[in-house]
Amino acid sequence: MFDAVKRTLFEELWDAGPDGITLLLNGLKVTLVVTLFAVFTGVVLGTVIALMRMSKNRFMNLAARAYTELIRVPLFLCSCL
């Protein structure tokens, strides 16, 4: 089964020669950029929310808890379906 998928998925690109390889490398570059951006954004946002949750400022703590609950509940409900 994997051979059939590999043959149909990559055969056209590899048969295209340098253009196909260039297309694959461009796709890899875009994937890496999007991944690095998502990781960086997640770390920064997670750190800010964590610091807000530890804050003694009641408004910041409440805002962070509300954001966490708004994100957590829909994700939990989607995973249950």
Report field, pTM of the whole predicted structure over 0.85: no
Count of domains observed in the chain: 1
The residue range of the domain holding 26 is 2-80
Distances (CA, A) of 1 to 6, 7, 71, 76: 9, 10, 39, 34
pLDDT per position as a tens digit, 28-49: 999 999 999 999 999 999 999 9
pLDDT category at 18 given cuts 50, 70, 90 is: confident
